[in-house]
Structure 1
Amino acid sequence: MVYVLNKNGHPLMPTENHAKVRVLLSKGMARVINRCPFTIQLAYGSTNHTQKITLGIDSGSRHIGISATTKDKALFEADVELRNDIVDLLSARREQRRSRRNRKTRYRKARFDNRRRGDGWLAPSVRQKADSHLTMTAKVHKILPISDIVIETASFDIQKIKNPDISGTDYQNGEQTDFWNVREYVMFRDGHVCQCCKGKSKDRILNVHHIESRRTGGDAPNNLITLCETCHKGYHKGTVTLPQKIHRGMSFRDAAFMGIMRWAVYEKLKDLYPNVRLTYGYITKTTRIEHGLPKAHHVDARCISGNTDAVGDGTVYFYKKVRCHNRQIHKCTVMKGGIRKRNQAPYEVKGFRLYDKVSWRNQECFIFGRRSTGRMDLRLLDGTHINASVGYKNLRLLKMRTNYLVESRHTG
């Protein structure tokens, strides 16, 4: 499928007539705008006849499914992998700033509670995912004349997942009702008994311990356990091992993401584009099962668009969102002599940057690692290793890095 823009840069209907495209390019009547997905722009005036194209968006916290379809043809389908490292990066930054302020500005007055969040504020991890939905929608609008947008929004009843029998006023009386804080509730839940030694240490001082680190597990009650101070200190020293039955409970992070993000994305889409409407997951699932389609993000998006019987050429574009910059200047570990090694690699090595799309032995791949000697680590977007050490002289640059890496795959 070749996507076509008119002379003014507005999208037209795509074409599968590759012979005509080659003629236009050879005669200078069109030029290549993008290699993947392959897009050309006409150099002469043309008619602007278009068909009705519906864009289906399967929203998610880890993946986005996209499908732009007409009544009988799938014109563009994509699976987008979102970033999930924002929470870890913010936690690392918070630790490093606290450490630096303790070293450099120990006597400065605390200013942790003097910020005011504006209306519509979203946490950085949620905002990044919402912005990715909007960015991918804009990318599709640049190559196709979209008429309608249908987005699936998921709503999760977390209390219902925890307690299937919940109803009525039970929603107002959760598990932490009448407790001052989470710590008090966790100790009451555990009977004020150490869950490691069961009181054998005779230590009456109790602590609340994070089963997973607070960075990854948070302060949810199912990530907390009551330990006596003896077992708590021993665990962190490595002399005490917790019983195998102690493990973190079910995580609802993705459900919380979707609950916060879905309305923010929908309201923003309505402000940017006309003819935006909602659908729901149970409708998508029923449609997919009735038509005997496989479970995939782009297939769900095709069902969401309402043109379930649309047939494409088997090409699905895989996008991966990567971080723009690494702002951490030095590594945390101090070397001998008080030297702190730089954490930032050179901006460019032998003319290549991180995440550049290159060709090696007629195979398209991406640079995931570089060495000062000019040896490159080549991989595909799904992490498949191509070669861990290829000389830069054997590579041909196809496309410089962008925030969204893309490769095409034929699904058959």
Structure 2
Amino acid sequence: MVYIIDQYGRPLMPTERYGKVRRLLKNSKAKVIKRCPFTIQLMYDSTAYTQDIMLGIDAGSKHIGVSATTADKELYAADIELRNDIVELLSTRRESRRTRRNRKTRYRKPRFNNRKRGDSWLAPSVRAKVNTHLKVVSDIYKFLPISKIIVEVASFDIQKIKHPDISGTEYQQGKQLGFWNVREYVLYRDNHTCQCCKGKSNDKVLNVHHIESRKTGGDAPNNLVTLCETCHKGYHNGTVKLPKTIKRGMSFRDATFMGVMRWAFYNRLKELYPDVKLTYGYITKNTRIENNLSKEHYVDVRCISGNPLAEPLGYVYYQKKVRCHNRQIHKYKINKGGVRKRNQADYLVKGFRLFDKVKYNNKEYFIFGRRTSGFFDIRDLQGNKVNKGSISCKRLKYLYTPNTYLTERRFTGSA
């Protein structure tokens, strides 16, 4: 499928007449403006006839499914992998900032309550994913004349998941009702007894320990356990091991994210585009079963678009969102002798940028690491290295520079 925009930048209907596209490019009546998905711009005045195109979006916390269809044919399908490293990066930055302040400004007056948050404030990790959803839609509007958007979101009742029999006023009477804070609840839950030695150390000082680090597991009660100070210090010193029965409980991070972002994303879409509708997973499932379709992600998104029986495209554009900038000046770990190594490389190294798409041995890869010596680390979209060592830039052929998305085409086998 070749996507077309007119000379004024307005999207037209895509085409599969590859011979005509080749002649237009050869005669300079069109030019290539994007390689993946392949998009051309006409250099002459043309008609602006379009058909109704429905855009189905399967919103998610880790992946976004997209399918643009007419009544007869699927025109575009994509699976976008979202970034999930923002929480860790922010935690690392916070650690660096606090240690730096302890070294540089030890007597600086504490300031914790000097920041105001608006009613529409979202956590940075949630805001980044919502913005990625919006950018995906905006990019599709640049090469397809979309008529209507249908968004599938999920609604989770976390308390119902934890306690299937909950009802009525029980929603207002959680396990932590009557406790001052989470710590008091955890101590009461564990009967004020160390869960490692069961009181054999005779240490009366109790601590609340994170099973997983606070960075990844958070402060939820199912990630906390009571340990005496002897066991707590021994665990962090490496002399004590926790029993195998102590495990982190079920995580509801993705469910919480969907509950927060669905309305933020949907309301923002309605502000930007004229015709936006909402749907839910059970409707998609019913549509798929009624039309006797297989349970695949790209099939579900086609059902969301409202045209489940449209002819499949036969391939899906798999995209991975990567960070746009890395403003960290120095490496987090200091070398021997107190030398801080710079974290930022030059903008261009031997004419290549980070994440450039290149061809090596007739296969396409992405540059994940550059060295001034000219030997680069190239990988596929899953992050698998081509070989154990680096590859000379002289053996690489530059293809193009992605715009915040690493993209490759994957065949689905159903055309």
**Bin for the TM-score computed over the shorter chain:** over 0.9
Q: Deviations over 1:192-239 (max 9, x none)?
A: 110000011111111000000000000000000000111001101111
* Deviation for aligned residue 1:121: 0.7
In the alignment, the residues of structure 1 paired with residue 98 and residue 147 of structure 2 have an alpha-carbon distance, to the nearest angstrom, of 50
SS of the aligned residue for 2:250 comes to coil
Specify the alignment match of 1:407 in structure 2: 408
Specify the alignment match of 2:397 in structure 1: 396
In the alignment, the residues of structure 2 paired with residue 294 and residue 355 of structure 1 have an alpha-carbon distance, to the nearest angstrom, of 35
In the alignment, the residues of structure 2 paired with residue 321 and residue 290 of structure 1 have an alpha-carbon distance, to the nearest angstrom, of 34
Asked if the contact 1:63–1:297 (Cα under 8 Å) also holds between the matched residues in 2, the reply is no
Specify the alignment match of 1:367 in structure 2: 367
In the alignment, the residues of structure 2 paired with residue 389 and residue 338 of structure 1 have an alpha-carbon distance, to the nearest angstrom, of 28
Asked if the contact 1:211–1:223 (Cα under 8 Å) also holds between the matched residues in 2, the reply is yes
RMSD: 1.2
Asked if the contact 1:356–1:401 (Cα under 8 Å) also holds between the matched residues in 2, the reply is yes
> Are 2:227 and 1:227 equivalent residues in the alignment?
yes
In the alignment, the residues of structure 1 paired with residue 386 and residue 311 of structure 2 have an alpha-carbon distance, to the nearest angstrom, of 32
Matches within 5 A, 1:110-121: 110-121=110-121
- The alignment-based identity, stated in percent, is 67
Taking structure 1 as the reference length, the TM-score comes to: 0.98
Asked if the contact 1:66–1:297 (Cα under 8 Å) also holds between the matched residues in 2, the reply is no
Runs of 4+ in 1 over 6 A off after TM superposition: none
Specify the alignment match of 1:159 in structure 2: 159
Greater CA deviation, 364-373 or 259-268?
364-373
Specify the alignment match of 2:304 in structure 1: 304
In the alignment, the residues of structure 2 paired with residue 258 and residue 192 of structure 1 have an alpha-carbon distance, to the nearest angstrom, of 36
Residue type at the aligned position of 2:410: R
SS of the aligned residue for 2:331 comes to strand
Specify the alignment match of 2:339 in structure 1: 339
* Deviation for aligned residue 1:33: 1.1
* Deviation for aligned residue 1:331: 2.3
* Deviation for aligned residue 1:348: 2.2
Residue type at the aligned position of 1:407: E
Residue type at the aligned position of 2:382: D
Greater CA deviation, 357-366 or 150-159?
357-366
> Are 2:75 and 1:64 equivalent residues in the alignment?
no
SS of the aligned residue for 2:300 comes to helix
Greater CA deviation, 310-319 or 10-19?
310-319
Gaps of 5+ in 2: none
* Deviation for aligned residue 1:401: 3.7
In the alignment, the residues of structure 2 paired with residue 286 and residue 81 of structure 1 have an alpha-carbon distance, to the nearest angstrom, of 26
In the alignment, the residues of structure 2 paired with residue 191 and residue 295 of structure 1 have an alpha-carbon distance, to the nearest angstrom, of 47
In the alignment, the residues of structure 2 paired with residue 336 and residue 313 of structure 1 have an alpha-carbon distance, to the nearest angstrom, of 56
Asked if the contact 2:51–2:70 (Cα under 8 Å) also holds between the matched residues in 1, the reply is yes
Residue type at the aligned position of 1:55: L
Greater CA deviation, 352-361 or 256-265?
352-361
SS of the aligned residue for 1:358 comes to strand
In the alignment, the residues of structure 2 paired with residue 70 and residue 289 of structure 1 have an alpha-carbon distance, to the nearest angstrom, of 21
* Deviation for aligned residue 1:378: 1.8
* Deviation for aligned residue 1:332: 3.1
Specify the alignment match of 1:91 in structure 2: 91
* Deviation for aligned residue 1:335: 2.6
Specify the alignment match of 1:246 in structure 2: 246
Asked if the contact 2:24–2:30 (Cα under 8 Å) also holds between the matched residues in 1, the reply is yes
Asked if the contact 1:67–1:302 (Cα under 8 Å) also holds between the matched residues in 2, the reply is yes
* Count of aligned pairs between the two proteins: 412
SS of the aligned residue for 1:341 comes to coil
> Are 2:197 and 1:197 equivalent residues in the alignment?
yes
Q: Aligned pair in 2 of structure 1 residues 232, 295: CA closer, same or farther (>3 Å)?
A: same
In the alignment, the residues of structure 2 paired with residue 94 and residue 343 of structure 1 have an alpha-carbon distance, to the nearest angstrom, of 17
Q: Deviations over 1:22-61 (max 9, x none)?
A: 1111111111111110111111111111110000000000
Asked if the contact 2:209–2:232 (Cα under 8 Å) also holds between the matched residues in 1, the reply is yes
Greater CA deviation, 204-213 or 397-406?
397-406
In the alignment, the residues of structure 1 paired with residue 69 and residue 205 of structure 2 have an alpha-carbon distance, to the nearest angstrom, of 64
Greater CA deviation, 54-63 or 330-339?
330-339
Specify the alignment match of 1:285 in structure 2: 285
In the alignment, the residues of structure 1 paired with residue 342 and residue 296 of structure 2 have an alpha-carbon distance, to the nearest angstrom, of 42
Q: Aligned pair in 2 of structure 1 residues 411, 384: CA closer, same or farther (>3 Å)?
A: farther
Taking structure 2 as the reference length, the TM-score comes to: 0.97
Matches within 5 A, 1:38-53: 38-53=38-53
Specify the alignment match of 1:185 in structure 2: 185
Asked if the contact 1:374–1:392 (Cα under 8 Å) also holds between the matched residues in 2, the reply is yes
Specify the alignment match of 1:174 in structure 2: 174
Asked if the contact 2:76–2:313 (Cα under 8 Å) also holds between the matched residues in 1, the reply is no
